[in-house]
Chain A
Amino acid sequence: KAGVTQTPRYLIKTRGQQVTLSCSPISGHRSVSWYQQTPGQGLQFLFEYFSETQRNKGNFPGRFSGRQFSNSRSEMNVSTLELGDSALYLCASTPGQRNEKLFFGSGTQLSVL
């Protein structure tokens, strides 16, 4: 099976712009989660989608949003980018039950200038 695929691999944006990141989960996985990794804060949970519905959400401002399509692919959007949004954004997928190991993609490295 192919793993979790994230595109693009790298992005450079300027403050105030918006960005959309894409994630294709492992075939058959219906849950997609997003995480932000920064040197200062570590890995932090953004949100989780299952069957096109947001089922869980972390403590991030409303500038961070996401959606999931009927084929389980997911996108994450960040509007009005700030310098502090520079991070590695990781997507993970699971079949969708509790207490499952998450399978992570390689991430999208976002730099905000």
Chain B
Amino acid sequence: DQQVKQNSPSLSVQEGRISILNCDYTNSMFDYFLWYKKYPAEGPTFLISISSIKDKNEDGRFTVFLNKSAKHLSLHIVPSQPGDSAVYFCAASELGGTSYGKLTFGQGTILTVHP
């Protein structure tokens, strides 16, 4: 039972345009959401996060939107750059004592930004 789903295995975008990566979740106990970026043979690098009490969080070119009623979040990258090409993971943390150190990850979306 996959509680965090990234339904698009890959996304291709032109440099300078917007990249939109999507993520759906099923567990209503999730209250903290994160996006990570990963290059091959490296560990994931934190990008941006959002608490369930917010619906938007911005950090430079990155914006995360959370729609709790739809159990959906998205990551917008504007403008996209070739260096953004990587695998992007959506992750979620659950309310309560079982959440220490535990993130539930989606399967990832491969983003390719073409010059």
Contacts and interface: CB of A to CB of B under 8 A. Distances in A.
Q: Do A and B bind each other?
A: yes
State which size class the interface on B falls in: 20 to 34
A42 B99 contact: no
A64 interface: no
Given A102-B46, A106-B43, A94 B101 contact: yes
Interface string A74-113: 0000000000000000101010101101111111010000
Interface stretch (B63-71, B78-86, B105-113): B105-113
Interface string B90-108: 0101000011111111111
Interface in B8-46: 31-32, 34, 36, 41-46
A104 B51 contact: no
Nearest to A101: B46
A102 B103 CA distance: 9
Interface of B: 31-32, 34, 36, 41-46, 49, 51, 89, 91, 93, 98-108
Given A42-B106, A42-B107, A43-B89, A102 B101 contact: yes
B45 to A, nearest CB: 7
| Chain A CB within 10 A, most for which of B34, B36, B103 | B103
Given A101-B49, A103-B46, A109-B41, A42 B105 contact: yes
Contacts of A63: none
A45 B101 CA distance: 8
B6 to A, nearest CB: 9
Contacts of A99: 31-32, 51, 93, 99
A44 B105 CA distance: 7
A107 B93 contact: no
B100 A106 contact: no
A24 B70 CA distance: 39
B98 A56 contact: yes
B32 to A, nearest CB: 4
Nearest to A102: B103
6 contacts: A43-B105, A99-B31, A99-B93, A99-B99, A104-B36, A106-B41
A55 interface: yes
